[in-house]
Amino acid sequence: MTVSVADIHRWDAGDVREVFHATRSRAEAAFEAADGIAELPAFGDWGGDAAEAAKEANGQIRKDLDAHGNEALAVAQAANAAADRIQQVKNDLVQLEADVAGAGFEIDPASNTVMPGPALEGNMVDMLAKEAEREALQARLNAILAEAVSADEELAQAIKMATGAEPIPETPHTNDPVLQDILSKPLPEDPQQFNDIWDKLNDEQKEWLYQQDHSIGNHPGMPFVDKDRFNQRHLAELTQSTQAEIDRLAREHPEWAATGRPNTPNPSPPGYREWKQKWDTAHHELDGYNSVNAEVQKFVDKDGDGVNDLPRFLAHIDDQGHAAVSINNPDEAKRTATFVPGTGQDLARFEFSAEKSEDMYWAAREADRSLRPGDVSVTTWMGYDRPMNVITDAPSTSYAHNGAGALSDFQAGLRASHDDLAAAGPSVNTVIGHSYGSTLVGAAGLDGHHLDANNVVAVGSPGILANHASDLSLPAGAEVFASRAENDIIGIATYATLGPDPMAAGFGGIPFEAAPGPTGPFGLPSIDAHSSYWDAGNPALANMGRIIAGRSDVTPPTFTP
């Protein structure tokens, strides 16, 4: 398909807009009629089969009117978009023609070519001198013509939809052109912009968006009540899909599935290794989904009144090994914490990280006893690819760099969806990273990322990729804390590949006390000390509780790193 300069001159965006106005009016009339039927008394004085038949007929009429209105509105939106592009093409061409004339050239409408004008014809010297300028003008003309072809195709699509030659995209019921325009485009990535739009939608429209994208509940900026509602449905779907894959593999080789090994003298018959890998992967995925679901459904009744004292909200779930579960609703909490686990933590072990979050919740409540149960929320956040091998994976910075944007967006989403009115003001937000999780936390405040947290806490850290606390992009007044057990084996990794020790005096953070932790053989540092920060009675846990509660009076470390 080609479009010429002469074609563009003949176009009239106003004619296309008339189509837009006419079809939008038709859509609004259909929606108003549908809403009017919904508000009828529904034959309240009638009874029997006639009343039921009338109600059913009215319901179908409303559905038909809704469908007609949506179709007309879709055509209207398509026509309006085409009109906008046509007008822009015409405006660009008018500006180009003025620039072409000013440079001494003219446009041949037959060949769509920028050619020398009367003043340049026969003047070979001037023509050669201005050849680069002519080529630049020709490039602009080519771009305008390409845009014209695209606009023409868009208009043709609108005409085909209007005539029934092309199907009209399914859209939710709305007689608000602004909402219809919003829902016809990709939702914004920015958490605050997303939240502003989401708050305008009704349940029907939100459900429609879920049907288009079952992972929409992971979007930063969505309120956590909706996150939980959609993500629990998505978790059930992922669980069912994984179980179906296990069932399929079992049907494929029932003898292998029953015994876990080939029932032949050959320990590895053809196809077994590939089948076994799929079998193990599917079971591991299912274990992960079940572990997350167990955490979401966890019931804690501290006072024995039959009420869940720590309701959970599923803040993230996907099929890539990522999940996040919040204790209490972060949108209504005054003190909100995000805990980022590190190396070796996958969804099948989610409960062990979640136990640390629960410990920090109670530590924060203990640090400020005026805080009510819903005033504190702690999220266990596994929204990035954790390194799974201490030797080969943990020294790499790539896991942190690759996951930094996800944590930055999650924290921005916490701010966007938070109900300041319910919480009597903005929340105090804390991010705690353990082991490699602290490296990820550091990356989320570097290289153009901004980490919206009032407090950053590095626990048992091998380094947070920053040379100094001030390198991190944080809100004004934010503080950086760090703690390491004296016997934590992670101490041998600092200053290696992930940055200096955040506990060091020259780093610029606030170090706090942790118990020394158990030693290994011959009194050497141990792995057990690396996970001891959440043990009962450990001052590190009490200090983290103080930080989450909004206090900075942490106890100083008892050893110099």
Determine, yes or no, domain membership for 251. no
* pLDDT reading at 544 higher than 50: yes
**296 shares a domain with 178:** no
**CATH number for position 443:** 3.40.50
Model confidence at 162, pLDDT cuts 50, 70, 90, reads low
Edge-to-edge strands, sheet with 376-382: 312-317, 323-327, 376-382, 335-340, 428-434, 455-459, 479-483, 510-511
CA gap 79, 83 in Å, rounded = 6
| Residue 76, domain member (yes or no) | yes
**In the predicted model, what is the mean pLDDT of residues 279-303?**
94
What secondary structure, in 3-state letters, does 71-108 show?
Answer: HHHHHHHHHHHHHHHHHHHHHHHHHHHHHHHHCCEEEE
Average pLDDT over residues 356-370: 98
Backbone angles phi, psi at 500, to 5 degrees: -70, 165
Of 149, 184, 219, which closes a domain? Answer: 184
- Examine the domain organization and report whether 156 and 301 are in the same domain: no
Contacts (Cβ under 8 Å, ≥6 apart) of 500: 463, 467, 494, 506, 507
Specify if 158 maps to a domain. Answer: yes
Percent of the chain with pLDDT over 70: 81
Select the more confidently predicted residue: 104 or 360.
360
Crossing angle between the packed helical segments 13-38 and 131-163, to the nearest 10 degrees: 30
Predicted confidence (pLDDT) per residue in 391-433, tens digit = 788 899 999 999 999 999 999 999 999 999 999 999 999 999 9
* Last residue in a domain, options 155, 184, 213: 184
pLDDT, residue 509, reads: 97
Percent of the chain at pLDDT above 90?
A: 55
Q: Say whether pLDDT at 491 is over 80.
A: yes
One-letter amino acid identity for 275?
A: W
* pLDDT tens per residue, range 493-516: 887 789 999 999 999 999 999 999
- The reported pLDDT for the residue numbered 225 is 98
Is 59 a residue whose pLDDT tops 60? no
Q: Is the pLDDT of residue 51 over 80?
A: no
Q: Is residue 227 part of a domain?
A: no
Quick check: 325 pLDDT over 90? yes
Per-residue tokens: 561? 């790193």
Are both 312 and 166 inside the same structural domain?
no
pLDDT of 224 reads 98
**Residue 519 maps to a domain:** yes
78-94 pLDDT per residue, tens: 667 777 888 888 898 88
Residue with tokens 């039959």: 306
| Assigned domain for 248 exists | no
Segment (H or E) for 317: strand 312-317
Q: What is the Cα–Cα distance from 357 to 144, expressed in whole angstroms?
A: 57
Q: What's the rounded mean pLDDT across residues 311-336?
A: 98
Question: Considering its fold, how many domains does the chain have in total?
Answer: 2
Give the least confident one: 20-29, 108-117, 521-530.
20-29
Mean of the pLDDT values across residues 537-561?
Answer: 95
Residue 97 is part of which domain span?
Answer: 5-184
For the cut 60, the answer to whether the pLDDT of residue 246 exceeds it is: yes
Mean pLDDT of the chain: 86
Its pTM stands at 0.73
Same domain? 48 vs 162:
yes
**120 inside domain:** yes
Q: Which of 127, 162, 184 is the last residue of a domain?
A: 184
pLDDT at 43 (0 to 100): 45
- DSSP letters of 244-294? HHHHHHHHH-HHHHHHSS-SSSSSS-TTHHHHHHHHHHHHHHHHHHHHHHH
CA 120 – CA 133 distance, rounded (Å): 13
Residue 378, in any domain of the structure: yes
pLDDT at 310 exceeding the cut of 90: yes
